[in-house]
Amino acid sequence: MFEVIVLAIALSMDAFAVSIGLGSKDASKNLGIKAGIYFGVFQALMPFIGYMGGRGVLGWVDAYAHGIAFGLLALIGAKMIYEGLQEGVEADIQAITHKMMLMLAIATSIDAMAAGFSLTLLNVNAYLACLIIGVTTFTFSWAGVKIGRRSGTWLESRAEIFGGTVLILIGIKILIR
């Protein structure tokens, strides 16, 4: 279960970083709840889709599953680190609408679908794991909006770099099992 909590924190860093950027742009009272719901729901749903897909192909790739999980987590982690070193998409956002939140939620959770494959290799209840990922992302997204309001965007890239590093470390742990 420890791996699930660490995975949940790492996966939520993309949403956390975007939420910080959103909070620095918009002071509306319910933005934290809105970001938490959008990002939390998608971050819970996408790993479950990845888990189900992973279960479907696990029999075919069983001998390579640990390497595949490592590769996916390493790629996702590297992508997060790269994005943490770049300018955020939030700078281009003019208005925070439901459509914009939906697009951001999908964009930040696509990586979680690939990470969901790694759940097939952990001895965990996938439903509980996805719930933990969703609740963790909700919490980090809500907090990110609050932090962004108070401090601006200085923490944004550090969160993505941290999350990417943790995903790579989880991949290494899966590989050496």
DSSP 117-134: GGGGGSSS-HHHHHHHHH
What's the N-to-C CA distance of the chain in angstroms?
16
pTM for the model stands at 0.75
Domain ranges of the chain: 2-175
pLDDT score recorded for residue 17: 83
Q: Which two tokens stand for residue 122?
A: 């952990």
Q: What phi and psi, each to the nearest 5 degrees, are found at residue 166? A: -65, -40
Taking residues 90-112, report their average pLDDT.
74
pLDDT band at 19 (very low <50, low <70, confident <90, very high): confident
pLDDT band at 114 (very low <50, low <70, confident <90, very high): confident
pLDDT band at 130 (very low <50, low <70, confident <90, very high): very high
CB 46 within 8 A of CB 173: no
pLDDT score recorded for residue 41: 96
pLDDT score recorded for residue 110: 78
